[in-house]
Amino acid sequence: MTRLKKYSALAIVMAVLTTGACQQAVDTTTSDGIDTAKTSKYLSQPLISSIYTADPSAHVFEGKIYIYPSHDIETGTPENDNGDHFDMRDYHVLSMDSVNGKVTDHGVALSVKDIPWAGRQLWAPDAAFKNGNYYLYFPVKDKNDVFRIGVATSNNPAGPFKPEPSPIAGSYSIDPAVFTDDDGTSYMYYGGIWGGQLQRWSNGKYDANGSKTDSGKENEPALTAKVAKMSGDMLSFDGPVKDVIILDRDGKPLLTKDYDRRFFEGSWMHKYNGKYYFTYSTGDTHFLASAIADNPYGPFTYQGTIMEPVQGWTTHHSILEIKGKWYLFYHDTQLANKTHLRNIKVTELTHRPDGTIEVITPIRK
């Protein structure tokens, strides 16, 4: 049994099976169409149920909370370790005035058919604001089925976004997350193994015949995320791409076999009390983890789990400060109970006095 199938089955057993389906309301709230008698096991409720959403990237723009998620759809593609069943074809931008408030779906902000170089699979995006413009960063497979990272621009946080004619030079893999530091410098963190193809770039060039997983290297330092400084216009990298080094408390790199702690995908960066928090998904073991550094390049010291497994195969998040409180946006499969049809949620996040993050339990015992 592959780790995907093993852990996917475990997550389903742990969770309460639900039978709710997406409702077709134009605007939805957390209680729209949801039977509360069947939801008490979950820490939080879906923010929207009119469409399936995942991988929420949350930001405060123009005094509102804007969320840039993946848009899950049913395509009938069989599930596999490469993630071909995640065949998303556009992005919707969501907004709300307050946490757990009424959600507005602003419709399609960018479609795969509008991206000249794209082939298929629009995976988890992120957004940023600078120079009076809004930027949408997205991974999509090119016409050779290789994941690259593109950028699209708009003068409105809700879009629509106009894509650049080619991907960001030097970019590859998935899950872009853009962090802007206090001095105005922006950095992109990205990468994901298995279906995210990061393991196929070990020699600096894409190997189409490379391993589909990271197996066979269990006692070696784990593959890790990448970080690159962004150019002033936010459209390209300004300098070399570097590894995001994650060390244990003894200063040793996390190993491939350390499935509960090592990086898999889903990078995010936030800053708290002068420290840089690199948070990420362990992927096939379904934890969200944190590592802390004194600068945006690291090295980062592993601090622990910040969220236990959700229902479903994937876990992906963002962390945002809103009016003095911190929140974690995430997803699970409560509405559909299907791996590839997910729904986004939000819950409060707490930094402990020592700077570490309290563990969030998304499924109540």
Give the span between the Cα atoms of 42 and 97, in whole angstroms.
Answer: 23
Residues 6+ apart with CB under 8 A from 117: 142, 143, 148, 150, 165, 166, 167
Domain count, the chain: 1
Q: Is 308 a catalytic residue?
A: no
Computed on alpha carbons and rounded to an integer, the radius of gyration of the chain in Å comes to: 19
Average pLDDT for the chain? 91
Q: Is residue 361 part of a domain?
A: no
Q: Is residue 356 part of a domain?
A: no
Q: Is residue 230 part of a domain?
A: yes
Could you say which of 55, 72, 105, 332 is catalytic?
55
- To which residue do tokens 């076999």 refer? 257
Pick from 45, 28, 46: which is nearest to 105 by CA? 28
* Higher pLDDT pick, 13 / 194: 194
Q: Is residue 215 part of a domain?
A: yes
**pLDDT reported for residue 12:** 39
C-alpha distance from residue 65 to each of 94, 96, 326, 356 (Å) = 8, 5, 13, 25
- What is the DSSP-derived secondary structure letter of residue 237? B
Q: Can you give the CATH number for the domain in which 230 is found?
A: 2.115.10.20
Q: How confident is the model at residue 365 (pLDDT cuts 50, 70, 90)?
A: confident
* Higher pLDDT pick, 140 / 5: 140
Tell me the pTM: 0.90
Q: Is 105 a catalytic residue?
A: no
**pLDDT reported for residue 38:** 61
Q: Are strands 133-142 and 118-122 parallel, antiparallel or unpaired?
A: antiparallel
Pair of tokens at residue 314: 């994937």
Q: Is residue 130 part of a domain?
A: yes
Q: Is residue 37 part of a domain?
A: yes
Q: Is residue 284 part of a domain?
A: yes
Whether residue 303 is predicted with pLDDT greater than 70 in this model: the reply is yes
Q: How confident is the model at residue 185 (pLDDT cuts 50, 70, 90)?
A: very high
Q: Is residue 365 part of a domain?
A: no
Q: How confident is the model at residue 233 (pLDDT cuts 50, 70, 90)?
A: very high
- What is the DSSP-derived secondary structure letter of residue 221? B
How would you classify residue 38: left for phi > 0, otherwise alpha for psi between -120 and 50, otherwise beta? alpha
* Higher pLDDT pick, 5 / 161: 161
Whether the CB-CB separation of 85 and 8 falls below 8 Å is answered with no
**Which structural domain range is residue 236 located in?**
3-349
Residues 6+ apart with CB under 8 A from 300: 244, 245, 246, 247, 276, 278, 291, 292, 293
Backbone angles phi, psi at 212, to 5 degrees: -80, -15
**pLDDT reported for residue 202:** 85
**pLDDT reported for residue 14:** 39
Could you say which of 72, 105, 175, 265 is catalytic?
265
